[in-house]
Every structure is written in C-alpha cells, then in structure tokens.
Amino acid sequence: MLTILNPQVIVLNGGSSSGKSSITRALQELLPGVWLTFGVDTFIEALPGRGNSPRAGITFQQDGTITFSAEHRALERNWYTGLSSMAKAGAPMILDEVLLSGGAGQERLRSTFSDLDVMWVGVHCDPDVAAAREAQRADRVEGMARQQALSVHSGVVYDIEVNTTNRSSEDCAHDITRSLLIQSPVP
C-alpha cells in the first residue's frame, strides 16, 4: 500500500552555498499546492542593515565563523514562533536553514514546531565545491561555505539527505518529492 506523507513544514539544512535555495525554488514548482519559503536569509534581510548593522547582533569572523548576541537569539525565537503559527494556520512552508549549532539548532526548531508534521532534509555539498560556489557570489563571507559544509549536519537527524556536489538542484528536489511517497508494509 502506498502512503503519502503530508508535512506542513519542510526544513532544508545545509551549509552556505550548498544549493538549498535552488532546491527550495524547485520544490515550490514540484509540490502540489502553494508552498511559502522562508529561512535564515529571510530573517537576516529583515534585521537592521540586513544583518550588517551592529544592532542585528551578528558577528562575522574572518574565518567564516558566525556568532550571535542574546538579543538576536531572542528575536530569532520570536521569528520561528511566528512561522510556526503561520504553518498551524494552514500555510505550508519550506525553511531554508543553516543550523550552525547542528543538533542543538534542530532541537530548537523541533520544540517550536512540535505541533506540526515536519520533514527534515539534509543538503550536503563537498566543502571544496561549496567554497568554489561561494567565491562566485558577492553576497557571501569567504570561508563560511567550507566552515559550515560539515558542521551544520553534526547531530542532526534527517528524513532524507541529498547531495548537490554532482547533482542538480532539480534532481535533488525530485528525490525529496519522491520521498514523500513511501511504501507501507502490507498487513
């Protein structure tokens, strides 16, 4: 018997320049209905100075490491609480995330989205390939892609994992869409 999973939220987690945003856009075209997309970049764009103001509470280190103030973390919790409310009200969404603290970040999201059906997707990319992509983008801090490529997955449990190193975003989106159809055991 074929069972169709029906998540209210799909979380894509991967490092900078791993291809999450491209997969997200492809999923919006493949999945039935209208899916909204939000994520860490959307949140940062809404901050003072688009995240570059000291008031945003984000510090970008020379090696690509990112740290956050307590005020930033509190505002981030409010952001996710608002997204959770939207999903509970019936707005399906895809979150394009970079869980810098790996499993601890996943637990923060799990607790916020605990009343929702969430699908967790790991988006992997070879650190060298992600760094090459990063170098081609003016909106990236050099070193973030290499630093995050593996660390964001530490301790995170996924429903499905895809790898964009040698596969297109569209192919990965098709894999994710197909994974929503699972074979149930026959009684």
Instruction: Catalogue the active-site residues.
Output: 41
Check: CB of residue 49 under 8 Å from CB of residue 55. yes
Pairing of strands 2-4, 181-183: antiparallel
Q: Which residues contact 46 (CB under 8 A, 6 or more apart)?
A: none
Q: How far apart are CA 14 and CA 31, in angstroms?
A: 21
Check: CB of residue 56 under 8 Å from CB of residue 48. yes
Query: Residue 3 is inside which H or E element, if any?
Result: strand 2-4
Q: How far apart are CA 33 and CA 91, in angstroms?
A: 10
